[in-house]
Amino acid sequence: MRIATVTLLVLLAGCTPGSQPPPPTPACGSPVETGPLPQWARAGFSGDARMPHVMGRRGDIVAAVFGHPLAVTRPDRSSNKILWVSKEPSPPGDLAIEARLDGTEVSVQRRVPGGPGPSIIDLPQSSCWRLTLSWPEHTDTLDLTYA
């Protein structure tokens, strides 16, 4: 009985909250991946195409973030460049973006002429933004954090 009690105490001690690191808490709902872009999004890239990117929740679009981290103001005068890549081809048309400030009713609209492609997406306030992306025959959502 004593061995079973000691074993149980040792096992329980290993499961205490202080013995394990806390799980990471995302600052925003869509994680920024830093590995290679999905195979279907690598046209025009060389090598393994490693760069910061965010996948749409449905998996229909990826935001390749050249201006990582995104920021409301940039002292170095760089830009918030995002390359939008659609998984499937679509008819010609613009990429419409509705960006909603997380937890509020504040929203702004942006447009990428000609559909998914290169863009500069500046947003007015630091925080997490939920983007609803619409382009011909497709819709997806993702979150971006602006510092």
Identify whether 5 is part of a domain.
Answer: no
Identify whether 47 is part of a domain.
Answer: yes
Please give the pLDDT value at position 87: 95
Residue in 87, 83, 94 with CA at minimum distance from that of residue 134: 94
Identify whether 126 is part of a domain.
Answer: yes
Q: Concatenated DSSP letters for the chain?
A: -HHHHHHHHHHHHTTSGGGSPPPP--SSSS--B-SBPPGGG-TT--TT-B--EEE-TTSSEEEEETTPSP-S--TT----EEEEEESS---S--EEEEEEETTSS-EEEEEETTSSSEEE---SSSEEEEEEEEETTEEEEEEEEE-
Q: What is the pLDDT of residues 50-91, one digit of tens each?
A: 999 999 999 999 999 998 899 998 888 889 999 999 999 888
Identify whether 137 is part of a domain.
Answer: yes
Identify whether 20 is part of a domain.
Answer: no
Q: What is the pLDDT of residues 6-46, one digit of tens each?
A: 333 333 334 334 444 333 345 577 889 999 999 999 998 88
Identify whether 133 is part of a domain.
Answer: yes
How many domains in the chain?
1
Please give the pLDDT value at position 27: 59
Which residues, listed in sequence order, are joined to residue 44 by a DSSP beta bridge?
Answer: none
Identify whether 49 is part of a domain.
Answer: yes
What is the domain-level CATH number for residue 103?
Answer: 2.60.40
Q: Is the pLDDT of residue 108 over 70?
A: yes
As a whole number of angstroms, the distance between CA 135 and CA 146 comes to 23
Its domain, for residue 129, covers 27-146
Identify whether 15 is part of a domain.
Answer: no
Q: Are 66 and 91 in contact (CB under 8 A)?
A: no
